[in-house]
Amino acid sequence: MTDTAQKRDVVISVRGLRNQFGTQVVHDGLDLDIYRGEILGVVGGSGTGKSVLLRSIAGLITPAAGEITVLGTDMGRADEDAHNAIAAQTGVMFQDGALFSSLTVRENVEVPLRMVHGLDGKLRRKLADLKISMVGLPYLAGDKYPSELSGGMRKRAGLARALALDPQIVFLDEPTAGLDPIGATDFDMLIRGLSRDLDLTVFLVTHDLDTLHAVCDRIAVLAERRVLVTGTMQDMLDVDHPWVHDYFHGPRARAALTTNDTTTKPQGT
């Protein structure tokens, strides 16, 4: 870690995390820090526990051991009120948007807003429409049901819902999976723009090398049940570990490097 990184504000700290399902140990002694305002890309082979890590930090599963501190709150010791306060500061977007199929897009985005006391229906609808427009969906999309949307639109709707309460942190699980290359690039740019404009911290699980190049400030690699290494894309190219080397030096990585060398890149840490 550089001196600059050490001075930065840690908004999520994970120490000694252990996750286990039956006899299967997914994480063991996993440590990770995430800094305010950064976009952290989390990569790793299939089944290395990227989504489980996301769900642990987002408070959706309880780890077997370890400490997770989010915005200064030790989640293992926090009472229900503290958990709710953190939930209001964090938004989660799942791969397929995870929308309620019986609700319109606007009603889906209104779901978290219902937690806010004193917000009448009219204002709630206005706020939902604002989020819908922030993620680049047309105004009329608010009246549609998830089944009436394309996959990319459903992802945007899921992102609008994740942003409903103006969180400080958003968790994105494979945001570009299943999108065509143009849709994926558009979504990458949306994430970067929102992160910059809203000063969001983004925890982003992805397999998409273009996303890593175009969007992420830092990358964390999961392997051997822990975070093996963190650093910039440049740092990853120098890592002497078989999986990391193959991933970042393979033909797809080279193609992503060439493509993204011609576009604007985020500042490294």
d(CA 93, CA 95) in angstroms, rounded, equals 7
d(CA 103, CA 2) in angstroms, rounded, equals 47
Amino acid in the structure at residue 237: L
- Quick check: 161 and 108 in contact, CB under 8 A? yes
Q: Tell the smallest beta-carbon distance from residue 127 to ligand ATP (Å).
A: 32
Cβ closest to ligand ATP, residue 132 vs residue 227: 227
Cβ closest to ligand ATP, residue 48 vs residue 104: 48
State the alpha helices, DSSP H only, in the chain: 3-7, 50-57, 80-89, 105-113, 121-134, 151-162, 181-198, 209-215, 233-237, 242-249, 251-261
What element of type H or E holds 242? helix 242-249
**Contact string (CB under 6 A) for ligand ATP, positions 21-60, x = contact:** x----x-----------------x-xxxxxxx--------
Within 10 angstroms of residue 138's Cβ, the number of other Cβ atoms is 10
100 binds ligand ATP, rule: CB under 6 A: no
Q: Tell the smallest beta-carbon distance from residue 145 to ligand ATP (Å).
A: 27
Within 10 angstroms of residue 157's Cβ, the number of other Cβ atoms is 28
Cβ closest to ligand ATP, residue 52 vs residue 149: 52
Q: Tell the smallest beta-carbon distance from residue 172 to ligand ATP (Å).
A: 13
d(CA 30, CA 40) in angstroms, rounded, equals 16
Cβ closest to ligand ATP, residue 47 vs residue 121: 47
Total residues contacting ligand ATP (rule CB under 6 A)?
10
Restricted to residues 211-240, the positions that interact with ligand ATP (CB under 6 A) are none
d(CA 229, CA 221) in angstroms, rounded, equals 6
Q: Tell the smallest beta-carbon distance from residue 98 to ligand ATP (Å).
A: 14
Cβ closest to ligand ATP, residue 27 vs residue 124: 27
Q: Tell the smallest beta-carbon distance from residue 197 to ligand ATP (Å).
A: 28
The residue ranges that bind ligand ATP (CB under 6 A) are: 21, 26, 44, 46-52
